[in-house]
Structure 1
Amino acid sequence: MVSLPDELQAREAAARRRVEELQAEAAELALRLEKAREDLSRLEITRETVTQVLAELSAAEAGPEGPAGDVPGPDEVSAPHGVGVMMVPPWREELAVAVLPDVYRDIVEVVADAPGPLQAKQIVPRIGLPTTTGKIEGTRGKLKRLVERGWLDEDVPGQFTLARLGPGRESANSR
């Protein structure tokens, strides 16, 4: 006959082995997930870069035919996946946040809702991304692009705020 303490010890050892096996599987899955997320991030950045380069090439080919400094209208930027379309248009008063691609819109809304300046590492989890170095750097690139195009300000390096609060633009979510 097996004693109760011996039986409990045997069951505990079996449960410990199962926990260790599952932890090993979880670690392997976490590594595979991180690799897949990094691949996705690289593809997103590549697509954005290619779209931007094609837009710049298209604008350069148009050259003197169009007026200098001509900015696309809201109808022209509402479909961000077309060739030759600038994904993040320069900000101007009549543009709503809705013209931005989803991830850029999410970033602007998070910054608009914040009580003060935010860093990229604070924005990443708020837009539903894991706080990995790749995602933080990718988001920092998007933040810099939004600053270049006039949607955000970066008065202190690495600290981003909403730009141009004015009439009808109290909040990014207001439109």
Structure 2
Amino acid sequence: MASVMGLLEERETAARVRAEELRAEAERVLAELAEAEAVLERRVIARVEVAEALAPVPGAADAPGEGPRQAVAGVSPQAKTTPVTGSVVPRWHPGMPVEALAADYRRIIELVEDEGGGGEGVLARELAARLGLEAVPAKVEGVRSKAKRLAERGWLEALPTGRFTPRQPTGTDRAADAEPSGRGGGS
């Protein structure tokens, strides 16, 4: 007859093996997810680029000397700033207007930029409350996920404390300070 300790050790070993198997499976799935998200982002960008290239340029037919090559190169301002609900958050780059984001992402950026906490940043819980959402974990995590996505794409800064602050200007941003940044008109 096996001892109780021996049985418990066998079960512990089996549980440890199962946990390792699941950990390896999770890593594989996360790698596949990252790859799939990269493909999705490339396809969304391609679709947006094609839509911009095919968009009619206002007044292109009226402008003398403007040939088809120039009309294709022109981009409608509306095509650039019309986000698709549920679309991927584009990477921020100088001159990228905040209007390129879906409304819920724009609102998060506005709230973070309007934050008056002396540069400490805003917690996801505070953002959820300011958005008028219930302070339940599901809603807070949804807001945190969106804010993290904005931080990953360069629109915000995520601090190690879990707070979010406005993106810090880069050298190219400082050179373009004479122009509005497109993220709120330069305030």
TM-score (norm 2): 0.49
Q: Is the contact between residue 113 and residue 171 of structure 1 (CA under 8 Å) also seen in structure 2?
A: no
Paired AA for residue 101 in structure 2:
L
Identity %: 31
The answer to whether residue 137 in structure 2 is matched with residue 139 in structure 1 is: no
CA deviations on 1:43-69 (whole Å, 9 max, x unpaired) are xxxxxxxxx67733737999xxxxxxx
**Structure 2: segments with no counterpart, 5+ residues:** 1-36, 48-74
User: Paired residue for 2:107?
Assistant: 106
Indicate the SS of the match to 2:90.
coil
Q: Is the contact between residue 80 and residue 87 of structure 1 (CA under 8 Å) also seen in structure 2?
A: no
Q: Is the contact between residue 156 and residue 166 of structure 2 (CA under 8 Å) also seen in structure 1?
A: yes
Indicate the SS of the match to 2:148.
helix
State the Cα distance separating 1:77 from its structure 2 match: 5.1
User: Paired residue for 2:93?
Assistant: 92
Question: What is the aligned residue count?
Answer: 112
* Greater helix fraction, Structure 1 or Structure 2: 1
Q: Is the contact between residue 95 and residue 181 of structure 2 (CA under 8 Å) also seen in structure 1?
A: no
C-alpha separation in 1, matches of 2:164 and 2:109:
10
Q: 1:96 to 1:59 in 2, by over 3 A?
A: closer
Higher RCO structure, 1 or 2 (CA under 8 Å, sep 6+): 1
CA deviations on 1:60-106 (whole Å, 9 max, x unpaired) are 999xxxxxxxxxx8766533328xx9531111111111111000000
The answer to whether residue 175 in structure 2 is matched with residue 174 in structure 1 is: no
Paired AA for residue 115 in structure 2:
A
TM-score (norm 1): 0.52
Indicate the SS of the match to 1:95.
coil
CA deviations on 1:22-41 (whole Å, 9 max, x unpaired) are xxxxxxxxxxxxxxxxxxxx
